[in-house]
Amino acid sequence: MSCYLVFARPGAPVPDEGSVIVADRFAPWAFAFPMLWLLFNRLWIEAAIAFALSLASTMMITNPALFWPGLALGVALSAVTAMEGRNWRAAALVRRGWQMIDLIEADDADAAFEIHALRASGGKTVVPGDRPTPPRNFPQPGRADESDAGTIGLVPVQRS
């Protein structure tokens, strides 16, 4: 299961068929083709930076003394784009005025939209601008108590 972020267009009714659903996970196509993936997702500034780094990596690879650092730069560019590219896309949507209206854990994007539509249309109304409530066991910043074991990332931590 993956987490999906649901974004609504400015002023659009919720649920809306035009909502954008962004998966919060590794993007394999971004690893294989970082610049093309960035351009396809309309991340122009990030694509320009990736182009410059890719050009630098290519120039380094042609020099035998800098082959391995150039290769490492190219692989690092692909890895960072694959791991953070979807977060960059979500940030770009927010900059364009879209609002995150739901956070859903589902098997695929279609199931995530169905869950979102069910939540939005059933008893609970979701309005753009409302922040989704985190799960009950999600740690709240500044609200730690003695019974909360806590986590580091996704790893639970026992405190003694």
Q: Is 107 strand, coil or helix?
A: coil
Give the per-residue pLDDT at 138.
47
pTM: 0.69
What are the tens digits of pLDDT across the range 72-126? 999 999 999 999 999 999 999 999 999 998 899 999 988 888 888 888 877 454 4
Please give the tally of structural domains in the chain.
Answer: 1
For 43, other C-beta atoms within 10 Å of its C-beta total 20
Give the per-residue pLDDT at 127.
53
pLDDT of 68 > 80? The answer is: yes
Q: Is 71 a domain residue?
A: yes
What are the tens digits of pLDDT across the range 129-158? 555 555 555 455 555 555 556 666 666 666
Q: Which residues are paired to 102 by β-bridges?
A: 6
Give the per-residue pLDDT at 11.
81
* Cα distance between residue 103 and residue 5, in whole Å: 5
Give the per-residue pLDDT at 120.
81
Q: Is 144 a domain residue?
A: no
Q: Is 14 a domain residue?
A: yes
* Pair of tokens at residue 18: 């035009």
Q: Are 112 and 6 in contact (CB under 8 A)?
A: yes
**Range of the structural domain that residue 123 is part of:** 2-135
Give the per-residue pLDDT at 95.
93
Q: Is 152 a domain residue?
A: no
Amino acid letter, 69 = P
Q: Is 119 a domain residue?
A: yes
Q: Is 140 a domain residue?
A: no
Give the per-residue pLDDT at 113.
87
Angle (CA) 123 114 16, round 5°:
80
Give the per-residue pLDDT at 13.
77
What are the tens digits of pLDDT across the range 16-66? 778 889 999 999 999 999 999 999 999 999 999 999 999 999 999 999 999
Q: Is 73 a domain residue?
A: yes
